[in-house]
Amino acid sequence: MLNRIDQKFSDLRAAGKKALIAYIAAGDPTLDATRELVWGFEKAGVDIIELGVPFSDPLADGVVNQLAASRALAGGATSRKVLECVRQIRVKSQIPIVLYTYMNPIYRYGFELFHRDAEAAGVDGMLILDLPPDEDAQNVELLQKTGLKRIRLIAPTTLNKRIAQLTADASGFIYYVSQEGVTGERASVATSLAERVAAIRQTTSLPIAVGFGISTPDHVREVALHADAVVVGSAIVKKIAEFGQSPDLVKKLIEFVTPLAAAIR
């Protein structure tokens, strides 16, 4: 069976469309809410979901996503429960799901076991924030092939020679971090975006997703001129924090996400 990420980009490319990728921290405010949000986001036009696996020391994340991870952990979310949440999502949805995570939760679970259980649960790809490709040759478990796509991150400061190394063993799509620093909303889109995306395209035929700092429909439209996918994360997580205790949480978040999805079409 074709991986859901590959199938989604293939379908969108055939239709001349770009993808909206939405990030949420799994378990914030609850795993039940996470499941309902994913189902609601799909109906609102989101194409791919990034699920953050709660971790106590998320170094690449800004304060908004750090607080979301803390709330999820305080609510009892664990890696095993996140995978169970994915299984429940799959009862009603085939939306592609990427796990956004750090190495620590994976190794605590068991590296090989985590990948096997994630794939069995219905996860399609892994974006491991603190795993550079240089580690592959030094750790036999990193060389094992699974059905999960290995998403690679590229930063604005990444040298062209390094870009080629990062894209060489990537799959699914490339995640270009459009702003230096940690995750978080920004007032504007980076002026170097077009140039940097063009440099990445010279090394790979994979779709290129752009994230970090994108928070408005105008941002989405601007980034979609250059990228194959646009990632919105902190802006969504901030709304979840605002409405997390409201019975209208899912409704409020769908209202926020719908204009973002419309902007990419």
Q: For residue 140, how many C-alpha atoms fall within 13 Å in the half-sphere facing its CB?
A: 0
Q: What is the largest CA-CA distance in the chain?
A: 50
50 is catalytic: yes
Residues 6+ apart with CB under 8 A from 42: 49, 93, 95
Q: In whole angstroms, give the CA distance from residue 122 to residue 117.
A: 9
228 is catalytic: no
CB atoms within 10 A of CB 101: 26
Catalytic option among 47, 50, 117, 185: 50
Catalytic option among 6, 28, 47, 61: 61
Both tokens of residue 216? 């408005």
Q: In whole angstroms, give the CA distance from residue 175 to residue 230.
A: 9
Enumerate the active-site residues: 50, 61
